[in-house]
Amino acid sequence: MTGVEEIRHIVGGIPDPELPALTIEDLGILRDVRVDAAGAIVVDITPTYSGCPALEVIREDVERSIRERGYPDVTVRVVLSPAWTTDWLTDAGRRKLLEYGIAPPRARSADLQLLELGVACPTCGSAHTGEVAHFGATQCQAVRTCSDCRETFPHFKEH
């Protein structure tokens, strides 16, 4: 592994503070890792939501993990454009969400009709679920219930 690949591997493995089962790579928050002309490490991260309180923690975690690896010169840039979307969640990220008890976001693409498809219950797999509240425990989650197993569960909403 080259230096950058090694750093990318380390940074990519940092857990999200609010969803520690997932890494910042799984969530699509980590956008780029590179070395600039002066030899400093530059990391680009993007916020999921404008006011996401996890972003400051992620920034500190990224800086610390790289410094601990022996690279003192680190810059973490917060990049707003292009705006983050749930389409950037990796397949591994979607699987981990489901294992964590959170229904993953449906694929969005340009076809909004897809959003009319049901959200499967992470407990019993039934598609007979309905939204209870559009706002949940974090900015990225909604709350749904399953009409078959009656479980209430979080849904990582499409964004």
Bridge partners, residue 156, by sequence: 141
| 143-16-96-34 Cα dihedral, nearest 10 degrees | 130
Considering only residues 116 through 145, tell me which ones interact with other proteins, judged by CB under 8 A.
132-137, 139, 143
Smallest gap from Cβ 138 to other proteins, in A, equals 8
Smallest gap from Cβ 115 to other proteins, in A, equals 12
Q: Per rule CB under 8 A, is residue 82 in the interface with other proteins? A: yes
Closer residue to other proteins in complex, CB, 69/85:
85
**C-beta separation of 147 from 130 below 8 A:** yes
Ranges of H-type helices in the chain: 3-12, 54-68, 91-99
Q: Per rule CB under 8 A, is residue 2 in the interface with other proteins? A: no
Closer residue to other proteins in complex, CB, 51/70:
51
Q: Per rule CB under 8 A, is residue 17 in the interface with other proteins? A: no
Closest to 105 (Cα-Cα) out of 85, 123, 125: 85
